Amino acid sequence: MKSDQYTLCDIVEQLESQSCNTPVIAMWVDIEDEKSEMPLHQHQHGQLVYALKGGVRCQLPQSTLIVPPQCAVWIPSGVMHSIHTTANAQVCYLFIHPSVSSLPKAGCTLSIAPLVRELILNLSMQPHQYSPDSALGRKALVLLEELAQMPIEHLSLVTPDEPRLQKIAKHLFNHPADRRTLAEWGTKVAMSERSLARLFKHETGMTFGRWRQQLHLIIAMHQLSNDSSVQSVADYLGYQSVTAFITMFKKAVGKPPAQYFSSLNQMDNHNLDKAS
Mean pLDDT by 10 residues, the chain (276 residues): 49 58 84 71 89 85 82 91 84 88 88 91 88 88 93 86 92 94 94 95 93 93 86 96 95 89 61 48
Query: How many whole angstroms separate alpha carbon 146 and alpha carbon 140?
Result: 10
Do 98 and 165 lie in one domain? The reply is no
Q: Residue 13's domain is classified under what CATH number?
A: 2.60.120.280
Do 82 and 207 lie in one domain? The reply is no
Query: How many whole angstroms separate alpha carbon 12 and alpha carbon 253?
Result: 34
- Give the model's pLDDT for residue 132: 81
* Whether 53 contacts 46, CB under 8 Å: no
* Whether 129 contacts 23, CB under 8 Å: no
Do 66 and 174 lie in one domain? The reply is no
Do 102 and 228 lie in one domain? The reply is no
- Give the model's pLDDT for residue 267: 53
Query: Residue 31 falls within a domain, yes or no?
Result: yes
The angle formed by the CA atoms of residues 122, 126 and 127, to the nearest 5 degrees, is 160
- Give the model's pLDDT for residue 15: 59
- Give the model's pLDDT for residue 10: 57
* Amino acid, res. 203: E
Last residue of a domain, one of 153, 185, 208: 153
- Give the model's pLDDT for residue 266: 58
- Give the model's pLDDT for residue 272: 47
User: Residue 62: which of 202, 135, 156 has the closest Cα?
Assistant: 156
- Give the model's pLDDT for residue 13: 63
- Give the model's pLDDT for residue 8: 56
End-to-end CA distance of the chain: give it in Å, rounded: 14
Query: How many whole angstroms separate alpha carbon 25 and alpha carbon 95?
Result: 5
Q: Which domain holds residue 227?
A: 161-262
